[in-house]
Amino acid sequence: MVVRPRPSLFALLFAVQGSILPRVAPKILGISSSALAVVAVERVWPEHFQVGPGIAPFTLIGIALSIFLSFRNGACYDRWWEARRAWGTLILETRGLARVLPAVLGPEQEALWRQSLRRVSGFAHALHASLRGTGTETEAARPWLPASEADAVHPSPADATLAGLSRDLGRAFRAGNISDIVFGMLEQKIAALAQVQVVCERIQNTPLPFAYTLLLYRTAWLYCLLLPFGLAGTLGWATPVATALVAYTFFGLDALGDELEEPFGTEPNDLPLDAMLRQVEGIVLDALGEAPPPPLRPENSVLS
**HEC profile for 151-198?**
CCCCCCHHHHHHHHHHHHHHHHHHCCCCCHHHHHHHHHHHHHHHHHHH
Selection from 180, 184, 176 nearest residue 108 by Cα = 176
Mean pLDDT of 260-284: 92
**Where does the pLDDT of residue 296 fall: very low under 50, low under 70, confident under 90, or very high at 90 and above?**
confident
Is the distance from CB of 293 to CB of 278 less than 8 angstroms? Answer: yes
State the distance between the two ends of the chain, measured CA to CA, in whole angstroms: 6
Please write the tens of the pLDDT for every residue from 36-66: 998 888 887 766 665 556 677 788 788 888 8
Mean pLDDT of 29-38: 92
Please write the tens of the pLDDT for every residue from 108-160: 899 999 999 999 999 999 999 999 887 788 888 999 988 887 677 678 889 99
CA 111 to chain CA centroid, Å, is 37
**HEC profile for 72-87?**
HHHHHHHHHHHHHHHH
**HEC profile for the chain?**
CECCCCCCHHHHHHCCCCCCHHHHHHHHHHHHHHHHHHHHHHHHCHHHHCCCCCCHHHHHHHHHHHHHHHHHHHHHHHHHHHHHHHHHHHHHHHHHHHHHHHHHHCHHHHHHHHHHHHHHHHHHHHHHHHHHCCCCHHHHHHHHCCCCCCCCCCCCHHHHHHHHHHHHHHHHHHCCCCCHHHHHHHHHHHHHHHHHHHHHHHHHHCCCCHHHHHHHHHHHHHHHHHHHHHHHHHHHHHHHHHHHHHHHHHHHHHHHHHHHHCCCCCCCCCCCHHHHHHHHHHHHHHHCCCCCCCCCCCECCECC
pTM: 0.87
Please write the tens of the pLDDT for every residue from 7-29: 555 555 556 666 777 888 899 99
Selection from 240, 241, 243 nearest residue 40 by Cα = 240
Average pLDDT value for the chain = 87
Between helix 56-105 and helix 180-205 the angle, nearest 10°, is: 150
